[in-house]
Amino acid sequence: MARNKITIVGAGNVGATTAHIAATRQLGDIVLIDIIKGLSEGKAIDIAEAAPVQLYDCNIVGTCNWKETAGSNIVIITSGLPRKPGMSRDDLLAKNAGIVKDVSEKIVKYSPDSIIIVVCNPLDAMAYTASKITGFAKNKVIGMAGALDSARFSCFLAAELGVSVEDVKCVLMGGHGDDMVPLPRLTSVGGIPVTELLDEDKIAELIERTRKGGIEVVNLLGYSAYYAPAAGTVKMAEAILKDKKTVLSCCAYCKNQYDAGGYFIGVPAILGKNGVEKVIELDLNKSERTQFDKSLAHVKQLAAKIDELI
């Protein structure tokens, strides 16, 4: 039986870490591609040389040649400018739109049957860009954001409560940014609603930290996070490649769902071999709906700018 083939575009911190985690999970053969000669090749060799210690068995190739990506099952787009202190995700829009456009055209040429996971920012707008350029079925283009934001919220909740992160299950919606919409009434710890365990002010404090989670790391390191984004990306890829039917918050195309009108935005969805197999529609209360609509309006503004750019 042929192994799955995973192409990771961009051999920077996020891309290389995604490749390493995917290798340890033995999800398939990996092609790490970058425009900088030597970068992907060196990191691929380094990851491959860890295999005898960590005991994973897959082929890992670093390249600048898109021909080596042909026939990929999944293509993960991490390439693009990362955030630096003082920058918002929106500040990356024009430059990263051009990069995603170029990458998307190459994906169509070499892996027309693949499923795309977009990781670069501004996330929702870049998923929109990849979809528009590839013309792929809407369920085959997905943005990685909810898995990361859920992980951050879970991490903060577990630390606050002194419980295992494995017991925390979060639901988040909306765009990947300061207007994301965590849903505490649907977030649980060992099946217990978090609203039963923490007061409203403490939950609001942790939600705000989650919204600012990316910039917190940027301000400390001077560049974007990569361990947690890579872990979230691999979780999505694994759900697809193993047809796990995993329920995850992710950036998915919504038309009639949530009256979104045809945009990519964070929602809970079922991920399997066909990509997004179902968007789960929640009955949002008035406050949640207001927050979601505000976030959606921002996503629409970014999409309109993409339409002007490309």
Active site residue ranges: 176
Q: In this structure, what token pair is assigned to residue 110?
A: 């070499």
Note whether 269 and 250 are within 8 A (CB). Answer: yes
Among candidate residues 209, 16, 232, the one with its CA nearest the CA of residue 123: 232
Distance CA 255, CA 191 (A): 31
Q: What number of residues does the chain have?
A: 310
